[in-house]
Amino acid sequence: MHFKKLLAVSFAALTAASPALAENVLRWTSQGDALTMDPHSQNEGPTIAMNGQIYESLVTRDADLKLQPELAESWQAGADGWTFTLRKGVKFHDGADFTAEDVVFSFERAKHEASDYKEQAKNVVSVEVIDDYTVKLVTDGPNPILPNQLTSIYMMDKGWSEANNVTTPQDFKAKEETYAVRNANGTGPFSLVSRAPDELTVLARNAAWWGEGQFPGNIDRIEYRPITNAATRVAALLSGEVDFVLDPPLQDLKRIEGADGLGVKTVAQIRSIFFGMDQGVDKLRSSDVDGNPFKDARVREAFNLAIDKAAIQRVVMEGLSFPTGMITPPGVLGNTPELDASYGFDAAKAKALLAEAGYPNGFSVQLDCPNNRYNNDEKICQAAVAMLAKIGVNVKLDAIPKAQHFPKIQKRESDFYMLGWGVPTLDSHYVFSYLLASNGSWNATGYANPRVDEITQAITTEIDIEKRTAMIDEAWQLVKAEMPYVPIHHQVLAWGISNKVDIPISADDAFRPRFAVMK
């Protein structure tokens, strides 16, 4: 009797454990964690990608970055807005139905002062409920690219948000902690099982997902473990501890490709890396000179000429980058080969320009740089320090984790900083409104050109594609001449993937588990 009982218990334990064996578990890593699980708090690549596994937007992009219906089944343009027909029968992870009122709520939340998506969301003036499954997103005049602007505005449940007191986004800059920071309730293919920031985030397949059966993905459980050290990350892939590394260091790609059962996928990424120079303040915070040298266009040109983009490409990036002269990559409407041409490298001319501007002996300035965000970010900054030293500019490098770096930029506390910018809408408006408009929330350069501001506004309503493209080009010409930024290169993406799993690579560096197939 006693023995039987024991047997029954151990059998029960076995059956409880066995589904875990049959499950398709995908373990993956990259250098940094999502900053928050609040879908409207931080507009940052890894955060969007992580939240995009749990939350969904009305319209999304597939692995080839083509627009696809997600929570909306279809949409129709009108003169003063777009009508979206919502998918029926969609449920949040807690069982609540997804309806039009959640759309209204989510847009209001995304437009809140603390939201990092307000630039995208403010294209939607208001949301009109036509019935439970039809909404009209009212725009300020015609908007030709509205669906493009909605792909990372995720839908939240109104009831859940109210019950948990998270009807407004987390104020990330003020380090606010809310329920939504560590908990999530979306409609997506995966639900959040556990979350330990910077350690381990576990997601489980949502069996009630609307897309169940329509996508090739067969992953049951996702374990995400950020590993800061690049060599450790590669070692984890080589040893089989993880199946997928999003950001293997470029110098190790050959090693990964040569290993049994591992492969590398590469694609030109929709992300440009550049330095910003604050020309807005009257006196630089970190400089030994009075006044602000960056106010002088010659100084900004000297910085552009002093950076040897080709050397960075060959030595730091192992050839995996495209040196550039603009801050947005090919594939985005507005990028042209002429504009994309690099400013070139001419240290002698750079030195002469500095002297002309009144700084024959250069000046000192601090370069703020992230050390866990972009491919070889800190090493690019180190290389730039050496290159600027050759024209007499004494640069002090402060390389810190992105969680401390980005608030510095957003609070306008940096004189000279590195930033990378991806463009989910694949349209220049996204770049103008964040980085070049005088009120852009990530424009810490103080760059303000009334014409660029005017164009940023005008292209939100211009439906004539030719006219619109001409305006975009005009704005880029101005930026090219006035050089508020020092463009470095467009990133090339490389993912290290085990042969056990097939993951299509996307140019926006987002992992889309709904397409990942375990063999």
Taken in order 173, 174, 180, 181, the sign of the CA dihedral is: positive
Half-sphere exposure of 296 (CA within 13 A, CB side): 16
Decide: 491 and 331 in contact? Cβ < 8 Å: no
Residue 385 binds to other proteins (criterion: CB under 8 A) = yes
Task: Return the residue of 302, 306, 388, 475 that touches other proteins, per CB under 8 A.
Answer: 388
Total length of the chain: 519
Amino acid at 491: Q
Residue 91, interface with other proteins (CB under 8 A)?
no
196 binds other proteins (CB under 8 A): no
- Rule CB under 8 A: choose which of 118, 390, 412, 500 binds other proteins: 390
- Choosing from 268, 400, 448, 478, the residue that interacts with other proteins (CB under 8 A) is 400
**Should residue 348 be labelled a site residue for other proteins when binding is judged by CB under 8 A?**
no
Mask 297-326, x = binds other proteins (CB under 8 A)?
-----------x--xx-xxx----------
* 3-state class percentages of the chain: helix first, strand second, coil last, to nearest 5: 35, 25, 45
413 binds other proteins (CB under 8 A): no
Sign, Cα dihedral of 331, 305, 480, 120: positive
Q: Does 410 help bind other proteins (rule: CB under 8 A)? A: no
Per CB under 8 A, the list member of 6, 13, 193, 231 interacting with other proteins is 231
Q: Does 389 bind other proteins (CB under 8 A)?
A: yes
**387 near other proteins (CB under 8 A):** yes
Distances (CA, A) of 9 to 12, 13, 26, 386: 5, 6, 30, 67
Stretch that binds other proteins, among 289-297, 398-406, 486-494, 508-516 (CB under 8 A): 398-406
Count of residues touching other proteins (by CB under 8 A): 30
* Residue placing its CB nearer to other proteins in the complex, 203 or 494: 494
CA distance 130 to 94: 26
- In 303-347, which ranges are E strands? 321-323
From the CB of 159, what's the least distance to other proteins, in Å? Answer: 41
Both tokens of 155, joined, read: 């839908």
Residue 129 interacts with other proteins (CB under 8 A): yes or no: no
Residue list 460-519, contact with other proteins (CB under 8 A): none
103 binds other proteins (CB under 8 A): no
* CB nearer to other proteins: pick between 35 and 387: 387
From the list 43-51, 191-199, 319-327, 382-390, the region that binds other proteins by CB under 8 A is 382-390
The rounded distance, in Å, linking the Cα atoms of 136 and 404 is: 39
Using CB under 8 A as the binding rule, whether residue 245 contacts other proteins is answered as no
**CA 91, CA 177: separation in Å to the nearest integer?**
26
Query: Is 249 a residue that touches other proteins (CB under 8 A)?
Result: yes
Gap between the Cα atoms of 446 and 205, Å rounded: 45
Does 364 bind other proteins (CB under 8 A)? Our answer is no
Least distance (Å) from other proteins to the CB of residue 230? 6
Q: By C-alpha distance, which of 150, 152, 140, 147 is closest to 457?
A: 140
| 182 binding other proteins? (CB under 8 A) | no
Which residues are registered as beta bridge partners of 480? none
382 lies in the binding site for other proteins (CB under 8 A): yes
- Least CB distance from residue 199 to other proteins, whole Å? 17
- 167 scored as a contact of other proteins (CB under 8 A): no
Cα–Cα distance measured from residue 204 to residue 221, given in angstroms and rounded to the nearest whole number:
4
Rounded CA separation 11/13 (Å): 5
Give the SS3 label for residue 20. helix
Contact 286, 415 (CB under 8 A): yes
Q: Which residues bind other proteins (CB under 8 A)?
A: 229-231, 234-235, 249, 251-252, 254-255, 308, 311-312, 314-316, 379, 382-383, 385-390, 395, 397-398, 400, 404
